[in-house]
Amino acid sequence: MRGLATICAAMLLALTAGAHAESLGFAGSVTWFGQVPIMVAIDKGFFKEQGLDIEYQVILNSSDRLASVDAGSSAFSNLGRSSVIPAMARGDTNFFYFYNFDDSPGIEGCWARPPVAAIKDLRGKKVAANTSAEITLSGLLNTQDMTEKDVDYLNLGPNEMAPALAKGDIAAACVWQPLLDGLKKAAPDGKLLGTDMDTTTYQKFGTMASPDIVIISRKLVEQHPEQARAIALGILKGADYTIADREDAAKTAAHYFHKTPEEVLEGMKAQRYYGTKDWQEHLKLHTAQMQYLAQWLYDNKKIPSVPDVAKWENSSFMPKP
């Protein structure tokens, strides 16, 4: 009887814990395969194991995701740091960053129409780029001791680049995959002038121009550190699972993208994922890269001042190896 009573008590405790799972929002996109570890953590129940019910809130734009965390509508997000650093420069202290779990150097590049055959040939010509791809363009120009002042730079929307290149309105365009493949189709006799892996950023940090960073509500960390730790544990398990079994991770996440598992798996090929192993050393690398990027944004008059990005780093709730 005692054994039966113990079992019943354990079942009741489990049911009670499930009934009181904390509901929190994650702001993410459904167009970027870097988000797969979060999708896996939700669908495999890794967050629920930590007593959390995480809602995947589809917010496509990085700045809108940041705004959602700032407003308290989302607890955490994975987004481009080219949106995060300007917020730091504005004095936004509503968030911390604590982790990087996806990276994809090599997916961003510049494609040119003939007769352009090398970066040096862009001098005086119209070149289009946008957001992080502008940083890649700058890095490629620097390899030839050139800057954006040496070209006729146009800030075009990513979907406007292929038509402009096809018509000859621009000599080259810089963008990320899969839109980079669209440039190749628009000018099939053109040439890839380089990717983000050919820049100083990659040489220094082994990462793309403006990779993702995971942010979390400062208020949540300070008032509910146990929830912050639960979020971290769920993400790490999702990342570890994605690293260990990409095929099943793709199958699990496919419905978010409205694609087949095979299409998602193909899209994940360009991604590097980072989990429990060495996350601390990896974060140090990304903090240094963020400071480097902040300086670039300031030098190119994108932000009013250079923030000390380390002031926004808080990994106190992350499990130590």
End-to-end CA distance of the chain: give it in Å, rounded. Answer: 42
Single out the residue of 108, 103, 106 nearest to residue 37, CA to CA.
Answer: 103
The pairing of strands 102-103 and 108-112 is unpaired
Q: Is the pLDDT of residue 307 over 90?
A: yes
Q: What is the mean pLDDT of residues 61-90?
A: 96
Q: Among 205, 240, 255, where does a domain finish? A: 205
Same-domain check for residues 197 and 220: no
Per-residue pLDDT at 271 exceeds 60: yes
Claim to verify: residue 70 and residue 24 sit in the same structural domain: yes
- pLDDT confidence band for 22 (50 / 70 / 90): confident
- Find, among 58, 98, 106, the residue nearest to 81 by Cα: 98
Answer yes or no: is 279 within a domain: yes
Average pLDDT for 207-221: 95
> Which domain-ending residue is among 181, 205, 229?
205
pLDDT at 12 over 70: no
The residue among 205, 226, 253 that closes a domain is 205
Overall residue count recorded for the chain in this entry = 321
**Position 252 pLDDT exceeds 50:** yes
Residue 3's pLDDT is: 45
User: Are 87 and 217 in a shared domain?
Assistant: yes
Whole-prediction pTM: 0.86
Calpha distance 317→321 (Å, rounded): 12
**pLDDT band with cut points at 50, 70 and 90 for residue 20:** low
Q: 48: which residues sit within 8 A by CB, 6+ positions away?
A: 18, 21
CATH number reported for the structural domain that contains residue 130 in this entry: 3.40.190.10
218, 267: one domain: yes
Percent of the chain with pLDDT over 90: 85
Instruction: Say if residue 14 is in the same domain as residue 138.
Output: no
Average pLDDT (138-148) is 95
**Domain range enclosing 236:** 2-103+211-312
Evaluated on CA atoms 23, 27, 30, 35, the torsion sign reads negative
Same domain, 89 and 224: yes
Please compute the mean of the pLDDT values over residues 53-60 and round it to a whole number. Answer: 96
pLDDT higher than 70, residue 11: no
Q: How many domains does the structure of the chain reveal?
A: 2
> 3-state class of 117 per DSSP?
coil
